[in-house]
Amino acid sequence: MPGAPRVGLFATCLTDTFFPATARAVVRLLERLGCTVEFPMEQTCCGQMHYNTGYRDAARPLAADYARTFAGYDAVVAPSGSCGGMIREVHPELHGSAPAFTHTYELSEFLVDVLGVTDVGAYFPHRVTYHPTCHSLRMLGVGDKPLELLRAVRGIDLVALPEAESCCGFGGTFAVKNADTSTAMLGDKMRCVLDTGAEVLSAGDNSCLMHIGGGLSRLRTGVTTLHLAEILASTEEEPWAPTR
Amino acid sequence: MGTNPVTWLGTPAFPVAARAALGDTQLRRNLRKATHTIRDKRAKAVEELPDWQQLRLAGEAVKDEVLSNLDTYLERFEAAVTARGGVVHWARDAAEANEIVLRLTRAAGAEEVVKVKSMATAEIGLNEALEAGGVRAVETDLAELIVQLGHDRPSHILVPAIHRNRSEIREIFQREMAEAPASDEPRALAEAARRHLRAKFLSARVAVSGANFGVADTGSVVVVESEGNGRMCLTLPEVLITVMGIEKLVPSWRDLEVFLQLLPRSSTAERMNPYTSVWTGVTPGDGPQQFHLILLDNGRTDALADRAGRQALRCIRCSACLNVCPVYERTGGQAYGSVYPGPIGAILTPQLVNDMHDKQAASLPYASSLCGACFEVCPVRINIPEVLVHLRAKAVQAKGKRTPEAMAMAALGWVLADPKRYEAAQKAGSLARYLARGGRISALPWPGSKWTAARDVPAPPAESFRSWWRRTRG
C-alpha cells in the first residue's frame, strides 16, 4: 500500500462501549506505524449477536450500514477476530459483496499482512500468555500472527497456554443460553491460564477476554486480561498502565 | 415429539439435560480421557497424509454430486442390486422400515436377529420395534452390546458406550451374562463378550445391518468395522437385511478410494479399518442366500430440500466432530437426547425431526459456542457452524415475535440501526458503573444473572471510545 494508508477504525460496539482503552491503543499503534486513522461516527455494530442467535433480519441492515460507512477507506481495521469474521465471511451473504467487507482486517492481519511488520516497537515487561480466539483462528485463519507480534515485544515474558486452541466457552448468547456448559468450559480455560503463572492473559477479542476475565475476576485470581492492541501500543516512553 | 424415534421421548431441552450431565463426575472423567485420546490420535493419523485437504475436497464433491442427482443414482443402484439377486424395498419413515424388517424376519421363521452396528437402525428404533413384534435383536458390536445389556442409551456415534469405563462394564456383564469375568481387564471383558456372541452368530438365521456406502454403478454395499462381528453377521446367516439411508450412495467403485481413506483416519485414527466387507446381491452357495435392502428416507428428502441444511447429508458418521467438540466433551452424548449426538447431531437431529416447535429438537442448534473445531476436522467439509446458525434462524421463526428474547433483540436492533440512538443508550448504560465495586459488577438482574452467576462484568467506563474521539479529535 503506497503512502500513508487511510485506515478506518471499526471499534466494534463492545470495545467502543466497555473497552475504550483498546480502541485508543489501536489508534496510537497505527499512527505510530504511519497510518492515517479515522473513526467514522456512523458505525455501530456488525450484527453478529443477532445473526448468530437466529435473528438474521436484524443483522441485514447493520451489514448495509457497515458497507456504506466504510466504503471509502484503503482498509478497515477491527480489534476483533470475531467481528472481522462476521464482516468478511457473513456480510456478503447478507448484503451482497462490497469493498468494505473484503478490505476489513483483524488487527494482527493488518499489521503482518498489509503493513508487513512484526516488530512494532513495543515494550511490555510482564509475564503474558495468549489465547487464540476461535473465530480469529478458524474463521479468519490468522494463525501465528498474533504470537509473532508478541514475540517481538521487548521485555515480555511470553509463556505458552496449555490447550490454547480450546474454546473458552463464550460463544455470544451461548454463555447465557447454555450457562452451565459455558462455565464448565470457562473453568478449564482458567485452570490452563493459572497454570502458566502469567499475570496477563491476552487475546485479539475483548468478548472472549470479557468472559475469561469475568471468571478470573470473580475468583479474585489477580490475573489481568488485556487486548493484544494494548500490549503492542505500550512503549518504554509510554508504558501500559491500568486505566480504570 | 416421540413419533420419530430419532429423539428420545422425555429428554429435556439441552441446557437442562446438560446440567445433569455436568454434575456426573464419573462421566466427566470418562469423557475427558476418551475424547482427548482419540483427538490426539486422529490428528497424528491425518498429519501422515500430505493430500488430506484435497481428499476432503474430493469427499465433499463426490457427496454433493450424489445429493444433487440422488434420484438418478438411487434408481441406478436399485436396478444393479435387483440384477444381482437382491430385493429392494423403499421406506418413507421409521414405521415403514421397521414393519418391513419385522415382516421379513417372521417370513424367515426367526425369533432372534444378530445385528451389525448401524446408525440407521438406531435412528428408527428398530430393536424396540422388533421386540414389540416378538423378535429379539442382539447387538454384536462390543460397545453396542454394552449399551444393550446395560439397558442404557448410546452416547457416541462410533463408541456408543464411551461414557462407561471398564469397571462399569464388568458390572453390566456380571449382571447380564452367564459367564461373566471377575476381572475388569479389557482382555478378559472382550473374551467374555466373544464367548457370549459366538453362540449367537452360529445360531442366527437372520442378520440386520446398516451400510457405510452403496455403489450406484454395481449395486455393491460396503460395511467397515473393527471387530469382525460385522463380517460374521454378513456371511453366516441365511438372510441378510440391510437398512440404508438414501444418502449413503457413491457413484462408482473408484469413489470408494476417497472415503476408505477419509473414514478410518477420521473415526478410529487408523490408516485402514481392520474389516471392510463388500457384497453385491446374492452369490449362490456363498453367504446369505436372501438379501433385502431397505432404502430409508425418514426425513432425508426434507433435509435435501433445504439449501443450507442439506450438507448435513454428506455425513459419513465418523464422529470426529464429537471428539473435538468442547461442548460434547463436557456433557457427553445423552444430553442431546438423540442417537445422533454432538455437533453433527445438533444439525442432523432437528432436520430429521423437521419440527422446530419441538422444544428439545429446537434447543440443539444452540448447543454450540460456534468455535468451529467440528468444521475443521470434518472429512466431508460440512460447515457445521453455518448450518447451526441457519437452524437457529428457523427456530426463531417458529417461536414468533412475541417471546421476551425476540422483543429484546428487536429493541436492540432498533437501537443499533441508528448511531444517535446507539450513543444515547451507551450513555444511559454507562450509569451502570455506579453499581460497580472495585471496577466490577458481580450481580445483575435476569437475564444478566445468567452471566453474573459465574462471571463478573467490567464496569462500563465513564467515557466511551466515541466520546473520547469526539472530545480529542472531533
A139 touches chain B (CB under 8 A): yes
In a domain, B381, yes or no: no
On whether the CB atoms of residues A53 and A59 are closer than 8 A, the answer is: no
* Domain coverage including residue B247: 14-300
The count of other CB atoms within 10 Å of the CB of residue A200 is 20
On whether the CB atoms of residues B147 and B127 are closer than 8 A, the answer is: no
> Which 207-246 residues of chain B touch chain A by CB within 8 A?
none
Q: How many CA atoms lie within 13 A of A162 on its CB side?
A: 10
Domain borders along chain A are 6-114, 127-233
Best residue in B25, B391, B401, B416 for a mutation probing chain A (most A CBs within 10 Å): B416
**How would you classify the pairing of strands B290-296 and B440-441?**
unpaired
| Count of the separate structural domains present in chain B | 2
- CB atoms A181 and B18 under 8 Å: yes
> Which 270-329 residues of chain B touch chain A by CB within 8 A?
326-327
Residues of B in contact with A50 (CB under 8 A): 409, 412-413
In a domain, B346, yes or no: no
Element (H, E) at B47: helix B25-47
- Cell triple for A187: 473453568
Distances (CA, A) of A177 to A172, B143, B282, B360: 9, 33, 53, 14
Q: Average pLDDT, whole number, for chain A?
A: 97
Given B268, B300, B332, which residue is the final one in a domain? B300
- CB atoms A217 and B370 under 8 Å: no
- CB atoms A61 and B417 under 8 Å: yes
Maximal C-alpha separation, chain B: 90
Tell me the average pLDDT across A188-216: 98
Given B300, B321, B349, which residue is the final one in a domain? B300
Assign B285 to helix, strand or coil: coil
- CB atoms B429 and A17 under 8 Å: yes
Q: How many CA atoms lie within 13 A of B201 on its CB side?
A: 18
Element (H, E) at B287: none
Alpha-carbon distance A97 to nearest alpha carbon in chain B (angstroms)? 18
Query: Which domain CATH number covers B45?
Result: 3.40.50.10420
- Cell triple for B318: 465418523
Name which of B327, B454, B473 is nearest A183 (Cβ-Cβ): B454
Closest CA relative to residue B339, chosen from B98, B126, B100: B126
Best residue in B336, B368, B370, B420 for a mutation probing chain A (most A CBs within 10 Å): B370
ipTM of this predicted structure: 0.97
Name which of B389, B417, B465 is nearest A24 (Cβ-Cβ): B465
Closest CA relative to residue B169, chosen from B198, B142, B129, B208: B142
- CB atoms A18 and B463 under 8 Å: no
Orientation angle between helical segments B384-399 and B342-353, nearest 10 degrees: 40
> Which 432-471 residues of chain B touch chain A by CB within 8 A?
439-440, 442, 447, 450-451, 453-461, 463-466, 468-470
On whether the CB atoms of residues A70 and A39 are closer than 8 A, the answer is: no
Q: What percent of chain A has pLDDT over 90?
A: 97
B431 touches chain A (CB under 8 A): no
In a domain, B107, yes or no: yes
Same fold, A6-114 and A127-233: yes
Name which of B395, B455, B465 is nearest A215 (Cβ-Cβ): B455
Name which of B330, B370, B459 is nearest A171 (Cβ-Cβ): B370
A135 touches chain B (CB under 8 A): yes
**How would you classify the pairing of strands B275-280 and B220-225?**
antiparallel
- CB atoms A184 and B368 under 8 Å: no
B19 touches chain A (CB under 8 A): yes
Looking at residue B2, what is its pLDDT? Answer: 42
- CB atoms B419 and A43 under 8 Å: yes
> Which 175-194 residues of chain A touch chain B by CB within 8 A?
175-186
A55 to chain B: nearest residue by CA? B393
Alpha-carbon distance of A31 to A36, in angstroms, equals: 6
- CB atoms B392 and A171 under 8 Å: no
In a domain, B170, yes or no: yes
Q: How confident is the model at residue A161 (pLDDT cuts 50, 70, 90)?
A: very high
In a domain, B147, yes or no: yes
Tell me the average pLDDT across A20-24: 98
Alpha-carbon distance B335 to nearest alpha carbon in chain A (angstroms)? 11
Residues 6+ apart with CB under 8 A from B76: B216, B217
Residues of A in contact with B429 (CB under 8 A): 17
- CB atoms A55 and B450 under 8 Å: no
Q: Which CATH class is domain A6-114?
A: alpha beta
DSSP letters, chain A, are --SS-EEEE---HHHHHH-HHHHHHHHHHHHHTT-EEE--TT-----HHHHHHT-HHHHHHHHHHHHHHTTT-SEEEES-HHHHHIIIIIHHHHH---HHHHTEEEHHHIIIIIS--S----B--SEEEE---HIIIIIS--TTHHHHHHHTSBT-EEEPPTTTTS--S-TTTHHHHTHHHHHHHHHHHHHHHHHTT-SEEEES-HHHHHHHHHHHHHTT--PEEEEHHHHHH--SSS------
A133 to chain B: nearest residue by CA? B371
Total residues belonging to chain A: 244
Looking at residue A2, what is its pLDDT? Answer: 59
Total residues belonging to chain B: 474
Alpha-carbon distance A231 to nearest alpha carbon in chain B (angstroms)? 18
Q: What is the CA radius of gyration of chain A?
A: 17
Maximal C-alpha separation, chain A: 51
**What is the block-wise mean pLDDT of chain B (474 residues), using blocks of 10 residues?**
70 96 93 95 98 98 98 98 98 98 98 97 97 97 96 94 92 91 92 93 97 98 97 97 98 97 97 97 96 98 96 98 98 96 98 95 98 98 98 97 95 96 95 90 92 95 97 92
Whether domain A127-233 has CATH 1.10.3470: no
Amino acid symbol at B125 = G
In a domain, B344, yes or no: no
In a domain, B23, yes or no: yes
A-B contacts (CB, under 8 Å): 185
A180 to chain B: nearest residue by CA? B19
Closest CA relative to residue B80, chosen from B253, B239, B237: B253
- Tens of pLDDT, residues A86-137: 999 999 999 999 999 999 999 999 999 999 999 999 999 999 999 999 999 9
Element (H, E) at B251: none
Name which of B373, B392, B416 is nearest A45 (Cβ-Cβ): B416
B411 to chain A: nearest residue by CA? A58
Best residue in A22, A90, A93, A178 for a mutation probing chain B (most B CBs within 10 Å): A178
- Cell triple for A129: 500468555
Given B240, B273, B300, which residue is the final one in a domain? B300
- CB atoms B466 and A11 under 8 Å: yes
In a domain, B97, yes or no: yes
* Dihedral Cα B119, B120, B125, B130, nearest 10 deg: -110
A226 touches chain B (CB under 8 A): no
